[in-house]
Amino acid sequence: MIDATTTSGLVTSTTASSTAASELEETYNSFLTLLTAQISNQDPLEPVDSTQFVSQLAQLTQVEQSVTTNANLESIGSMLSAVAAMSDLQLIGRDVLVPSDQIRLTETDFPLSYQVGAGASEVKIKIYAGEDLIREIDGPSTAEGELVDVTWDGLDADGIPVPPGTFRVELTAADDNGDAVAVAGLTTAKVERVDFTAQGPQLLLGNGETVLSQVVQSVL
């Protein structure tokens, strides 16, 4: 689905260039008309200084070149935007890896991964159903920058199976002194739709989230 705002910026920039070009043409024609009238009616004994006309013509030429350059740049920008839009549209129906704390549990999968900063000695993962904490597990690795996959058996703290659904996860990491270390959770989710907004392309994911320019990588 392409939102109506997709083309609004392109139309606005194109209209601005067209308006500027039209105004320049009117000014240029008015100047030439005035120049012709002055030359036709000049006093032969005191002719008009041609240097002034040459200078004004040079200024108009520079303005014309600037307007043309702006129009060309806007055209290039429009083409680049179109290429980017096509790239985003190709993500529809594909899985992408994105930063998220909303993880959808299915009968066979719990697509949670994380990356942790340097110095971590432990990673803790809390899984919530709404506001209720249902399970806490240890992260399987503290390797800096590594994309670590998390395995959850789908059981709560009492060993009872949890029905499929979307759960909120909270990740924390700490070093040997108990000081916090940065950690980021990621999930794999299918792109259901792409909306183009003034802020940029937004991906509507199968887990219910909408992300803006946060795709880490597409998954084949």
pLDDT at 198: 75
With a cut of 70, say whether residue 56 has pLDDT above it. Answer: no
What domain count does the chain have?
A: 2
Element counts in the chain: helices (H) and strands (E): 2, 12
pLDDT tens string 167-189: 999 999 999 999 999 999 999 98
Whether residue 101 sits in one domain with residue 49: no
Whether 83 and 174 map to the same domain: the answer is no
The letter for the amino acid at 93 is: G
Based on the fold, state whether residues 63 and 111 are members of the same structural domain: no
104 lies in the same domain as 210: yes
**Mean predicted confidence (pLDDT) in 100-124:** 94
AA letter at 134: I
Range picked from 25-34, 61-70, 129-138 for highest mean pLDDT: 129-138
What pLDDT is recorded for position 16? Answer: 59
The H-or-E segment that residue 71 falls in is helix 50-89
Q: Domain range for residue 57?
A: 4-89
- 26 token code pair: 């009117």
Q: In this predicted model, which residue has the larger pLDDT, 162 or 56?
A: 162
Question: With the CA atoms of 134, 140, 144 and 147 taken in that order, what torsion angle do they form, in degrees rounded to the nearest 10?
Answer: -80
What is the pTM for the complete model shown?
0.58
- Shared domain check, 123 and 191: yes
CATH value at residue 211: 2.60.40.4070
C-alpha span between 161 and 24 (Å, rounded): 73
pLDDT of residue 89: 75
